[in-house]
Amino acid sequence: MANEIAKGPAAPGVAKVDPILVADGVRREFGGLVAVDVEHLEIPRGKITALIGPNGAGKTTLFNLLTGFDKPNTGKWTFQGRDLAGVPAFKVARIGMVRTFQLTKALSLLTVLDNMRLGAKHQPGESLLRALVRPLWRKREAEITVAAEELLKRFKLDAKSDDFAASLSGGQRKLLEMARALMSKPVLVMLDEPMAGVNPALTQSLLEHIKGLKDDGTTVLFVEHDMHMVRHISDWVIVMAEGRIVAEGPPNEVMKNPAVIDAYLGAHHDSDLGADKIAKEAN
């Protein structure tokens, strides 16, 4: 697996055979605290990459930086060869790099269906002048609605489609946010803790959705604490601790890495990383 994805032996910052996102020297400080300090990072195209690390490791901050929601002190990065440093968040999303938020951002007083429709691209009616001329956007609106309903069905939210998003449970909002992000058919989708709060009955199907994305050619980068999920669906794992990338590699190798066990268990000894399980597999 390592050979298929990485150019050399698995190590922090290893070059990839076919990277979609390449970051260099990305550093973000909050006051005296260095939240992110990534020397070199490459995300493989068409794969599912997990970004793991203890709370406060800087995963969310790195997401914010890469997607234009925050500005680094230094650093540059490219997406599909295009320089993205300083590009505003909405433009980053438009060129196909769409993220979700750790703290869910459902649009409460919009219906579930309208939440979904807002995720779509190329709706001419979103411009002020064309909005007044319904024939200019009615056809596209119908297409968008069909696509939205299809996705809602896949995420088992179709029964809720006319309700305000405010009426959804926390887990359902997470699902809605992910489904909404998919409306634009992103090239790279970045999910910040997509499973947090989601009903366990739904996690299995959510895993299948994410694998399905890969089959459709979408690259996935996700932050997750659930090691079962990481092991189950990711092709590659990147580990962060204290703002730096401390390890990366295929899931089974990474989880045997003493630096990882250290970083993780150093932070929470009672975490569900499953140290025993890792140890067993190592043997």
Partner 1 sequence: MDLIVALQSSFGELITAGTAAFVLCAIGLAIHFGFTGLLNFGQAAFAAVGAYGYAIAALDFKAPLVLSVLFGLLCAVIFAVLLGIPTLRLRADYLAIVTIAAAQVFKFVATSSAITDPSGNVITGGAEGLSEFGGTFYSLNPVPAGEYQVFGNSLTQDQIWVDIVGWLLVVVCALLTYFLTRSPWGRALKGIREDEDAVRSLGKNVYLYKMQALILGGCMAALGGMVFVINSQTVQPTVWGTNFTFTIWTVLLLGGATTVLGPIAGGVVFFTLFAFIQKVLEGLVAIHWMGSLTIPQVGQIRLILVGLALMLLVIFRPQGLFGNKKETLFNG
Q: Which active-site residues does the annotation give?
A: 193
For the segment 11-50, give every residue that binds partner 1 (CB under 8 A).
none
* Gap between the Cα atoms of 78 and 233, Å rounded: 25
The stretch near partner 1 (CB under 8 A) out of 112-120, 153-161, 206-214, 222-230 is 112-120
The stretch near ligand ADP (CB under 6 A) out of 13-21, 30-38, 83-91, 247-255 is 30-38
Residue 252, binding choice from partner 1, Mg ion, ligand ADP, none, Cβ under 5 to 8 Å by partner class: none
Name the minimum Å distance from CB 194 to Mg ion: 12
Name the minimum Å distance from CB 132 to ligand ADP: 40
Name the minimum Å distance from CB 175 to Mg ion: 19
Among 27, 40, 45, 105, binds partner 1 (CB under 8 A): 105
Contact 79, 89 (CB under 8 A): no
Residue 242 — φ and ψ, nearest 5°?
A: 50, 45
Instruction: Fill in the DSSP letter of residue 194.
Output: T
The size of the interface with partner 1 (CB under 8 A), counted in residues, is 41
Query: DSSP secondary structure string, 257-270?
Result: -HHHHHHHHHH-TT
Among 22, 50, 65, 98, binds partner 1 (CB under 8 A): 98
Contact 46, 64 (CB under 8 A): no
Segment 215-219 long-range contacts (CB within 8 Å, at least 24 positions apart): 217/46, 218/46, 218/185, 218/186, 218/187, 218/188, 218/189, 219/20, 219/43, 219/44, 219/45, 219/46, 219/47, 219/48, 219/49, 219/187, 219/188, 219/189
Residue 267, binding choice from ligand ADP, Mg ion, partner 1, none, Cβ under 5 to 8 Å by partner class: none
Which parts of this chain interact with ligand ADP (CB under 6 A)? Answer: 30, 33, 35, 53, 55-61
Which parts of this chain interact with Mg ion (CB under 5 A)? Answer: 60, 102
